[in-house]
Amino acid sequence: MIQKLMKHQRLEISLLLIMMTLFCFSLSLFRYYMTDTKVFFFLNWNLFLAWIPLIITSFAVIFNVKSKLSLMIMVIIWILFFPNSPYILTDLFHLKVRSSIPIWYDLVVILSYAWTGLICGFISLGDIEKFLSAYLKRPMINLIVVVFLFVSSFGVYLGRFLRWNSWDILNNPFGLFNDIIVRFVYPLEHTKTWGVTLLLGVMLNFMYFMIKVIKKEHPIITPLNVN
């Protein structure tokens, strides 16, 4: 199993993400050392949750899961945790001037966590695309990706403003479903919900598809030949 992981192309990006995660953790530790406060320690938990979608799809990729039923179950579990990846972007709400440490340091802390979580999510979404490509054509896959990103934005709203989390699908499903259904039944009474979902969804779609285009245009960056 270890040899299989070592040879897999997922290893390189996984190591980079692990290093970035350690960097994020070191930033929060240094902040705690300087201020003796645990203000941003919650970011470590948020980043752990952001890793879950990538862990789910990575296992499916590495072990070449092909069963339709297994893939369907994986996608359902994945979509429940996927909003945790872009969710850290909203932790910028916690950015404010504090006497104990410069605001620019806190900005670097939050952006580091947000970027790491977002990349974890985007890589896992790319994995989902690859799984779907075995059964669907490209236009349909693109449509599903767009829908997933808007669903994720709705999930971010539920987490940030209504304080629901992925575990509540088991802990309090009726309360969660009630908050979801009422926003579909009475959309005009919940303009904030749809405003956040729409704008964040558009932004995430631009970000994801831009990264895909960059990867397509520059699959391998090689040094220029200088005579």
CA nearest to 113, candidates 47, 49, 33: 47
Q: What is the pLDDT of residue 162?
A: 95
The residue ranking higher by pLDDT, 15 or 3, is 15
Under 8 Å between Cβ of 160 and 116 = no
Q: What does the pLDDT look like over 23-38, one tens digit per residue?
A: 999 999 999 999 988 8
Cα(57)–Cα(104) distance, rounded to whole angstroms? 35
Cα(158)–Cα(177) distance, rounded to whole angstroms? 11
Query: Chain-wide mean pLDDT for the chain?
Result: 90
Q: What percent of the chain has pLDDT over 70?
A: 92
Q: What does the pLDDT look like over 83-112, one tens digit per residue?
A: 999 999 999 999 999 888 999 999 999 999
pTM beyond 0.85: yes
Q: What does the pLDDT look like over 143-166, one tens digit per residue?
A: 999 999 999 999 999 999 999 988
Mean pLDDT of 55-65: 88
Q: What does the pLDDT look like over 183-197, one tens digit per residue?
A: 999 999 999 999 999
User: DSSP secondary structure string, the chain?
Assistant: -HHHHHHSTHHHHHHHHHHHHHHHHHHHHHHHHHHS--TTTHHHHHHHHHHHHHHHHHHHHHTT---HHHHHHHHHHHHHHTTHHHHGGGGGGG---BTTB-HHHHHHHHHHHHHHHHHHHHHHHHHHHHHHTTTS-HHHHHHHHHHHHHHHHHHHHHHHHS---TTHHHHSHHHHHHHHHHHHHSGGG-HHHHHHHHHHHHHHHHHHHHHHHHHHH-SS--PPP--
Is the pLDDT at 6 greater than 60? The verdict is: no
Cα(108)–Cα(106) distance, rounded to whole angstroms? 5
